[in-house]
Structure 1
Amino acid sequence: MIKHLLCALALSWTVAASCQAQTVDLDKATIAQLRAAMDAGQLTSERLVRLSLARMDAYDDKGPQINAVITRNPRALAEARALDAELKAKGRRSPLHGIPVVLKDNFDTADLATTGGSIFLEGSIPPDDAFLVKKLREAGAVILAKVNLSEFASGGAYSSLGGQTRNPHDLLRSPLGSSGGTGAAIAAGYAPLGLGTDTGGSVRWPAAANGIVGLRPTHGLLSRDGIIPLSLSFDTAGPLARNVSDVAVALGLLAGVDPADPATAKSQGRAQTDYTPYLKADALKGVRIGVARDFMGQDAEFDWVMEASIAVMKAAGATIVDVRLPRWLIESKGEFYSAVRMSEFPVQLQAYLATLKPGYPRTLDEMIERSYRLPAPRPDGAGPNATRWSLLRREQASVALTDPAYTAVRDQALPLVVAALDGVFTANRLDAIIYPPLAERPELISRTGGTRAATPGGGASSGTNLASLSGFPELVVPAGFTTDQLPVGLSFIGRAFDEGKILGIGYAFEQATQARRQPVHTPPLKGEALSIGARKP
Structure 2
Amino acid sequence: MKIKIILIIAVAATLVSCQRQGSSDIDSTAYLEEITIKQLQDGYREKRFTVEKVVNDYLKRIELLDKEGPCLNSVIAINPDAIKIAKELDEELAQGKVRGPLHGIPVILKDNIDTRDSMPTTAGATVLRNSFVGRDSWIAAKLREAGAVIIAKANLSEWANFRASRSSSGWSGVGGQTRNPYELDRNPCGSSSGSGVAVSANLCAFAIGTETDGSIMCPSNNNGIVGLKPTVGLISRSGIIPISFTQDTPGPMCRSVSDVAYCLGAMVGPDPNDPKTLDPNARFYNDYTQFLRLDGLMGKRIGFITNASGFHHKVDTLMSKAISDLRRFGAEVFEVSLPIPQEVNSAEFQVLLYEFKDGLNRYFASLGEKAPVKSLEELISFNRTDTIELRHFNQHLLELAQGKGDLNSPEYIKALETMQKGIRQNGIDKVMDENKLDLLIIPTGSPAWKTDLILGDNYIGGNTSYAAMAGYPSITVPMGNIDGLPVGISFIGRAWCESTLIEAAYSYEQGTKHRIKPKLMK
Deviations 1:103-157 (A, max 9, x none): 0000001122111110011110114100110001101110010011111111521
Correspondence list, 1:204-219, <5 A: 204-219=217-232
Offset of 1:513 from its aligned partner?
0.8
2:70 counterpart of 1:71: no
Measure, in 1, the Cα distance between the counterparts of 2:281 and 2:437: 25
Provide structure 2 residue ranges, at least 5 long, that are not aligned to the other structure.
1-29, 162-166
Larger RCO (alpha carbons 8 Å, 6+ apart): 1
Measure, in 2, the Cα distance between the counterparts of 1:449 and 1:246: 36
Measure, in 1, the Cα distance between the counterparts of 2:515 and 2:83: 29
Select 1:398's aligned residue among 398, 404, 414. 404
Measure, in 2, the Cα distance between the counterparts of 1:474 and 1:66: 27
Offset of 1:363 from its aligned partner?
0.8
CA 317–215 in structure 1, closer or farther in 2 if over 3 Å, else same:
same
2:113 counterpart of 1:107: yes
2:444 counterpart of 1:472: no
* Higher mean C-alpha displacement, 211-220 vs 123-132: 123-132
Question: Could you say which residue in structure 2 is the equivalent of 1:535?
Answer: none
CA RMSD of aligned residues (A): 1.9
2:198 counterpart of 1:185: yes
Select 2:356's aligned residue among 332, 339, 345. 345
Letter paired with 2:156: L
2:345–2:419 Cα contact (<8 Å) kept: no
Question: Could you say which residue in structure 2 is the equivalent of 1:331?
Answer: 342
Select 2:215's aligned residue among 186, 202, 217. 202
Letter paired with 2:78: R
Offset of 1:96 from its aligned partner?
0.5
Measure, in 1, the Cα distance between the counterparts of 2:406 and 2:139: 30
Question: Could you say which residue in structure 2 is the equivalent of 1:121?
Answer: 128
Question: Could you say which residue in structure 1 is the equivalent of 2:376?
Answer: 364
Question: Could you say which residue in structure 2 is the equivalent of 1:441?
Answer: 447
CA 399–441 in structure 1, closer or farther in 2 if over 3 Å, else same:
farther
Provide structure 1 residue ranges, at least 5 long, that are not aligned to the other structure.
1-23, 378-382, 454-458, 524-537
Secondary structure at 1:353's aligned position in 2? helix
2:52 counterpart of 1:46: yes
Measure, in 2, the Cα distance between the counterparts of 1:77 and 1:313: 44
Offset of 1:279 from its aligned partner?
0.5
1:343–1:399 Cα contact (<8 Å) kept: yes
1:127–1:355 Cα contact (<8 Å) kept: no
CA 450–42 in structure 1, closer or farther in 2 if over 3 Å, else same:
farther
Deviations 1:392-414 (A, max 9, x none): 21222235433332211213431
Question: Could you say which residue in structure 2 is the equivalent of 1:82?
Answer: 88
Measure, in 1, the Cα distance between the counterparts of 2:462 and 2:210: 18
Offset of 1:268 from its aligned partner?
6.2
Letter paired with 1:342: L
Measure, in 1, the Cα distance between the counterparts of 2:149 and 2:348: 36
Letter paired with 2:258: S
2:109–2:154 Cα contact (<8 Å) kept: yes
Letter paired with 1:85: E
* Higher mean C-alpha displacement, 263-272 vs 486-495: 263-272
1:256–1:268 Cα contact (<8 Å) kept: no
Offset of 1:29 from its aligned partner?
2.0
Question: Could you say which residue in structure 1 is the equivalent of 2:516?
Answer: 517
Measure, in 1, the Cα distance between the counterparts of 2:300 and 2:510: 16
Offset of 1:332 from its aligned partner?
3.5
Letter paired with 1:260: N
Measure, in 2, the Cα distance between the counterparts of 1:418 and 1:134: 33
2:384–2:390 Cα contact (<8 Å) kept: no
Offset of 1:462 from its aligned partner?
3.8
2:494 counterpart of 1:495: yes
Question: Could you say which residue in structure 2 is the equivalent of 1:250?
Answer: 263
Percent identical pairs in the alignment equals: 39
Runs of 4+ residues deviating >6 angstroms: none
Secondary structure at 2:237's aligned position in 1? coil
Measure, in 2, the Cα distance between the counterparts of 1:385 and 1:402: 36
CA 394–287 in structure 1, closer or farther in 2 if over 3 Å, else same:
same
1:337–1:465 Cα contact (<8 Å) kept: no
Question: Could you say which residue in structure 1 is the equivalent of 2:6?
Answer: none
Letter paired with 1:311: S
Secondary structure at 1:372's aligned position in 2? helix
CA 412–337 in structure 1, closer or farther in 2 if over 3 Å, else same:
closer
Question: Could you say which residue in structure 2 is the equivalent of 1:15?
Answer: none
Greater helix share, 1 or 2? Answer: 1
Measure, in 1, the Cα distance between the counterparts of 2:442 and 2:186: 22
Question: Could you say which residue in structure 1 is the equivalent of 2:233?
Answer: 220
Measure, in 1, the Cα distance between the counterparts of 2:156 and 2:265: 25
TM-score normalized with structure 2 length: 0.89
Question: Could you say which residue in structure 1 is the equivalent of 2:290?
Answer: 277
Deviations 1:432-470 (A, max 9, x none): 1000121x23331136565457xxxxx9x5421111111
The structure having more radius of gyration, on CA atoms, is 1
Measure, in 2, the Cα distance between the counterparts of 1:388 and 1:411: 30
2:292–2:506 Cα contact (<8 Å) kept: yes
CA 388–467 in structure 1, closer or farther in 2 if over 3 Å, else same:
farther
2:425 counterpart of 1:419: yes
Offset of 1:79 from its aligned partner?
1.1
Select 2:160's aligned residue among 137, 143, 153. 153
2:142 counterpart of 1:135: yes
Secondary structure at 1:253's aligned position in 2? coil
CA 56–267 in structure 1, closer or farther in 2 if over 3 Å, else same:
farther
Secondary structure at 1:433's aligned position in 2? strand
CA 415–330 in structure 1, closer or farther in 2 if over 3 Å, else same:
closer
2:108–2:153 Cα contact (<8 Å) kept: yes
CA 324–448 in structure 1, closer or farther in 2 if over 3 Å, else same:
farther
1:173–1:445 Cα contact (<8 Å) kept: yes
Deviations 1:375-408 (A, max 9, x none): x34xxxxx54542523321222235433332211
Measure, in 2, the Cα distance between the counterparts of 1:303 and 1:39: 45
1:174–1:450 Cα contact (<8 Å) kept: no
Offset of 1:425 from its aligned partner?
1.1
Secondary structure at 2:104's aligned position in 1? coil
2:348–2:416 Cα contact (<8 Å) kept: no
Deviations 1:317-347 (A, max 9, x none): 111100111x4x3433421220100111111
Offset of 1:281 from its aligned partner?
1.1
Measure, in 1, the Cα distance between the counterparts of 2:36 and 2:325: 23
Offset of 1:267 from its aligned partner?
6.1
Measure, in 2, the Cα distance between the counterparts of 1:359 and 1:209: 35
